[in-house]
Every structure is written in structure tokens, then in C-alpha cells.
Amino acid sequence: MLLENLLVSRYRRRFQRFLMEVELSNGQRVVAHTPNTGTMKTLLAKNNPVYLSTNDNPQRKLKYTTQIIQLNDSLPDFSDGNLAGPDNKKTFLSAKSNNSVSEKFCLINTHLPNHLVKEGIEKGIIKEIEGGREIKKEVPYGQNNSSRVDLFLEDATGRKVFLEVKNATLKVAEGVCAFPDASTKRGLKHLRELTAETQKSHRAVVVFLVSRNDCQQFQVADKIDKEFYQGYLQARQKGVEFLAYRLKFTWRGDSVQMELEKSLPIIN
């Protein structure tokens, strides 16, 4: 997935769930739409660079949308007024020449993880679902078809696969990312519905997308939501498959290519 023409700003505050105040290169503070229902714990340090997409449609209430946050306390160099990505040495401190600058990023637009996982299946990156075909989104399932599964497909053997994507951004220890970052009744409901599909000889899969690139391991956050953790253990015992894949960011000026990079071990 390619995001182009991103503007770099710096984080000031998140004052409502879907609203973030950021500062542009000219010092102007603006409100950006933040499509993220999570707490965003361990992400929102003051002055962290935030990368924005823009939309000039006059019918939109907000021109800017937050896409990615850079996980460090260093400031972009706004001296020449040009907004560009972290590879542009004129406008951003170079990580190659300054060790204080981080190459750590996190995707904060939660509308994108489902698309990224779908691409990962199509490109054969998710080895556990190789040969997946006819991937459909938001297919009704569960009791009385009252829910919608994120992705539905058939694997190489023809078995039906019900797949839920969980976006993970919480860092709980050095190199360890976790989900959830708050209590999630909805997530627990998904686990129960997926477990029911395994009893029909279907495959049920949860992909935890580790949307930050500074972690090497994943765990279910048992101390944050004990009920979800118990549901996870029960679902795993009943045959639900749990996978964790980390996101990779490749910058070219003010554009970034994102794709699933590698599988991470789930340590609990």
C-alpha cells in the first residue's frame, strides 16, 4: 500500500477520540481527523512527527487526516518551509547522521489494516494462508449473520477461512507489542464467533497486525483485559489460529510504501 504526498507536522494533543491537534511547518495549529478508536497509549509523545494526508474537498469538515506517527522525541526541521518525509535530508534530521533520530514508525489510521492484511495474503507474505483466493470483505457470519467478518476466503485446500484483523500498537516492554490496549467486549465477541466456525470444520484465524516497526515479539495483553485473554486461550484450544505480522515502512521522499514484513512470535 502506497501513501503519497504526506505532510509532516508535530503532535500537540489528542482532545477527542477522532480529533488531534498538530502543528504545521509555518507554526499554524490545525485539527486533523484521526481515524483510530484505540487509546493510542505509548504513541503520543509531544512533538512526535505526525504524517498527514490532505483532502481539499470543500465538503469535508477537516482538510487533514493523520496516517503515521514517528516514535521519537526529535523534531522535524521546518526551517525551509518544505514538508517532506524522513528520507529528505533538507527537511528532516537524517537518521544516518544523527543517532537521536528514530526510524521507528506506527500506522495510526485504523481504516487501513484490513487492506494491508488482504494484500499480505494476495502477495503470499502470510505463509499460513498461502493460495488464498476470492478474498471478500465484511461477509456476514455468526449467530443469525449478526456480525461481519473482516476477511473471508478459501485456502489452497478449499477450506473456508474466517479471518479477523486486530490492529496492535501498544508497546508493553522493550521489543514487545500487545493487544488490546483497553477492554474490548467486541473483540471477545469475535473470538467466540470464530470459535463457533471451527466447530463447523472451517478455519478461523486472527491476524494481529503489529503496526509499529520497533517490536520483535507479540503478546496478548492479559493484564489489560483478563476476560479477552481467557477468551484467547479458550479459542486457541478450540482450534482458532492466531498470527502476528509486523508492518514495514519504506519511505521515498514524502511517500511511504507499507506492507507486511515478517511473522512475529506470540509469547503467551
In this prediction, residue 136 carries a pLDDT of 95
In this prediction, residue 102 carries a pLDDT of 62
CATH of the domain at 151: 3.40.1350.60
pLDDT tens per residue across span 61-89: 999 999 999 997 443 444 443 344 444 33
In this prediction, residue 67 carries a pLDDT of 98
CATH of the domain at 23: 2.40.50.580
Grid coordinates representing 261 are 514484513
- pLDDT greater at residue 96 or residue 184: 184
130 with 209, same domain: the answer is yes
Whether 268 is in a domain gets the answer: no
pLDDT grade for 41, boundaries at 50, 70 and 90: very high
pLDDT tens per residue across span 91-114: 333 332 233 346 899 999 999 999
Distance CA 265, CA 46 (A): 31
45 with 123, same domain: the answer is no
- pLDDT greater at residue 96 or residue 129: 129
Grid coordinates representing 94 are 537524517
Whether 53 is in a domain gets the answer: yes
103 with 140, same domain: the answer is no
121 with 192, same domain: the answer is yes
Whether 86 is in a domain gets the answer: yes
142 with 254, same domain: the answer is yes
- Last residue in a domain, options 107, 123, 141: 107
Of the chain, the percentage scoring pLDDT greater than 90 comes to 77
255 with 138, same domain: the answer is yes
259 with 172, same domain: the answer is yes
pLDDT tens per residue across span 203-254: 999 999 999 999 999 999 999 999 999 999 999 999 999 999 999 999 999 9
- Last residue in a domain, options 76, 107, 138: 107
Q: How many domains does the chain divide into?
A: 2
Q: Is residue 142 over pLDDT 90?
A: no
40 with 170, same domain: the answer is no
Handedness of CA 213, 208, 167, 4 (dihedral sign): positive
255 with 222, same domain: the answer is yes
DSSP conformation class of 6: P
In this prediction, residue 132 carries a pLDDT of 73
Distance CA 3, CA 259 (A): 11
Domain of residue 7: give its range: 2-107
